[in-house]
């Protein structure tokens, strides 16, 4: 790391107080900056991020534009009240609508092929079918959507179809939002590792000793929040994903869920398969903020591709990576002021694409109150 004193010119440029400083340049953080700047065009807004680009989950997710499968909702019933589940579904759907409206479907490569949740266990399938009416009622109450979940069969598997689910390109999503922020006058500082947040004073100090001061702070670091703020409990969750090389006559073209949303896969481009998840197989090890590959999970997903999805012999992985999500105990996100100068937005619980922009807009309204 380079340590150098500031020149006279640099001090005048950088020793400024911003109206809003956002920590975290992922979808949520950049959405806060965007909507705050839209409502306050003359205000000075700065976004800080520790990476050369946002490296948590916003550009490392699987690109699902989803609002939850039946077995995921069933699992949520065990930890959350019905009213909160409905509200979370409403936020997810509103968030996806806002994302598409703000960025444009073409710019984010959005498509809506329809989705399926597949089953390999007949008892689990029957239990899910028993909850179809409940889950459909929730979607109707949350968004006025009728018969979203329906009993069906897909590629030889018992399945539940999911209407209105889509997918997108996370990289294009973030690039489009970044360009919009630059055009509106939002400033960015990349590779800026914050080591201390002074929430009462609106001050952030970097590991290189630099200090930034804002009239308001918005902490949008999701899974990494607990390392900066002791009074916000967010558990990290690492997710492993790979994309195959082209596969001739790929049968899995849409978007798919399996086992409470822990497994997810979809067609990418015309003939590649993206497959990820299985975090539940080694949950303690995957509760980490360290990037990397869990070989146990990778081996299991390869077996899943071979034995369950029955990919053709000879298929190969082209690219693999991990992303870090942030979870709350109930999966409901945290959006609150923790001082007169600091607001926290975190714990999107694996639904960052759906929730990020909606929470960003809500946070932008909150920081000026």
pLDDT tens per residue across span 276-316:
999 999 999 999 999 999 999 999 999 999 999 999 999 99
Contact 132, 149 (CB under 8 A): yes
**What percent of the chain stands above pLDDT 70?**
98
Looking at the structure, tell me whether residues 242 and 361 fall in a common domain. Answer: no
Residue 3: pLDDT over 70: no
Report the number of distinct structural domains present in the chain. 2
With respect to residue 102, please indicate whether it lies within any of the assigned structural domains: no
Q: How confident is the model at residue 210 (pLDDT cuts 50, 70, 90)?
A: confident
Mean pLDDT value of segment 228-240 = 93
Mean pLDDT value of segment 310-326 = 96
Closest among 235, 236, 237, 244 to 301, alpha carbons compared: 244
Q: Length of the chain, please? A: 369
> Residue 49 sits in a domain of what CATH number?
3.50.50.60
The confidence score (pLDDT) of residue 221 equals: 96
Looking at the structure, tell me whether residues 319 and 181 fall in a common domain. Answer: no
Tens-digit pLDDT profile for residues 263-276: 999 999 989 999 99
Separation between Cα atoms, residue 100 and residue 110, nearest integer Å: 8
The confidence score (pLDDT) of residue 369 equals: 60
Q: How confident is the model at residue 1 (pLDDT cuts 50, 70, 90)?
A: low
With respect to residue 53, please indicate whether it lies within any of the assigned structural domains: yes
With respect to residue 286, please indicate whether it lies within any of the assigned structural domains: yes
Residue 28: pLDDT over 90: yes
Average confidence score pLDDT of the chain = 94
Looking at the structure, tell me whether residues 273 and 309 fall in a common domain. Answer: yes
Looking at the structure, tell me whether residues 308 and 240 fall in a common domain. Answer: yes
Looking at the structure, tell me whether residues 215 and 341 fall in a common domain. Answer: yes
Looking at the structure, tell me whether residues 278 and 336 fall in a common domain. Answer: no
Contact 291, 241 (CB under 8 A): no
Closest among 107, 108, 87, 103 to 31, alpha carbons compared: 103
- Which stretches does DSSP call E strand in the chain? 17-23, 45-48, 64-65, 115-118, 149-154, 157-162, 166-167, 187-189, 194-198, 203-206, 211-219, 235-244, 255-258, 263-268, 272-277, 317-327, 334-337, 342-346
With respect to residue 137, please indicate whether it lies within any of the assigned structural domains: no
The separation between CA 327 and the C-alpha centre of its own chain, rounded to angstroms, equals 11
Separation between Cα atoms, residue 264 and residue 306, nearest integer Å: 15
With respect to residue 141, please indicate whether it lies within any of the assigned structural domains: no
Q: Which residues of 270-302 are buried (b: 16+ CB within 10 A; e: fewer)?
A: eebbbbbbbbebeeeebebeeeeebeebeebbe
With respect to residue 192, please indicate whether it lies within any of the assigned structural domains: yes
Q: Which residue has the higher pLDDT, 2 or 113?
A: 113
Residue 339: pLDDT over 80: yes
Q: Where are the alpha helices (DSSP H) in 106-169?
A: 122-130, 132-143
Tens-digit pLDDT profile for residues 53-84: 787 789 999 999 999 999 999 999 999 899 99
With respect to residue 339, please indicate whether it lies within any of the assigned structural domains: yes
Domain carrying residue 278: 236-327
With respect to residue 89, please indicate whether it lies within any of the assigned structural domains: no
Q: Cα–Cα–Cα angle for 69, 71, 77, nearest 5°? A: 105
In order of 152, 153, 180, 259, the CA distances from 156 in angstroms are 10, 6, 44, 17
Q: How confident is the model at residue 184 (pLDDT cuts 50, 70, 90)?
A: very high
Q: Which residue has the higher pLDDT, 100 or 15?
A: 100
Looking at the structure, tell me whether residues 301 and 348 fall in a common domain. Answer: no
């Amino acid at each position: 790391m380079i340590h150098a004193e500031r020149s006279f010119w640099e001090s005048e440029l950088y020793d400024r107080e911003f109206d809003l400083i956002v920590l975290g340049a992922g979808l949520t953080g950049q959405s806060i900056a965007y909507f705050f700047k839209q409502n306050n065009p003359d205000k000075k807004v700065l976004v800080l991020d520790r990476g050369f680009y946002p490296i948590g989950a916003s550009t490392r997710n699987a690109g699902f534009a989803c609002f939850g499968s039946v077995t995921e909702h069933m699992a949520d019933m065990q930890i959350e009240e019905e009213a909160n589940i409905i509200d979370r579904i409403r936020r997810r759907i509103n968030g996806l609508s806002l994302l598409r409206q703000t960025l444009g479907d073409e710019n984010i490569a959005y498509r809506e092929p329809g989705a399926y949740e597949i089953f390999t266990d007949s008892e689990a399938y029957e239990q899910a079918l028993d909850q179809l009416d409940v889950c459909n009622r929730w979607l109707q109450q949350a968004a006025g959507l009728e018969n979203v979940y329906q009993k069906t069969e897909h590629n030889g598997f018992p399945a539940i179809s999911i209407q209105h689910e889509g997918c997108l390109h996370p990289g294009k999503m973030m690039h489009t939002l970044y360009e919009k922020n630059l055009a509106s006058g939002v400033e960015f500082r990349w590779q800026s590792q914050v080591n201390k947040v002074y929430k009462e004073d609106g001050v952030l100090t970097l590991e290189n000793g630099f200090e930034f001061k804002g009239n308001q702070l918005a902490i949008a670091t999701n899974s990494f929040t607990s390392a900066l703020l002791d009074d916000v409990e967010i558990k990290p969750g690492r997710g492993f994903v790979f994309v195959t090389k082209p596969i001739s006559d790929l049968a899995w073209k849409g978007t798919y869920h399996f086992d409470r949303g822990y497994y997810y896969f979809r067609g990418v481009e015309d003939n590649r398969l993206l497959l990820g998840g299985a975090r539940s197989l080694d949950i303690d090890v995957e509760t980490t903020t360290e990037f990397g590959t869990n070989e146990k999970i990778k081996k299991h997903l390869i077996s899943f591709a071979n034995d369950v999805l029955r990919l053709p012999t000879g298929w190969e992985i082209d690219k693999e990576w991990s992303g870090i999500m942030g979870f709350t105990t109930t999966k409901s996100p945290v959006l609150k002021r923790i001082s007169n100068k600091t607001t926290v937005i975190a714990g999107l619980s694996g639904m960052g694409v759906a929730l990020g922009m909606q929470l960003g807009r809500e946070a932008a309204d909150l920081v000026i109150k």
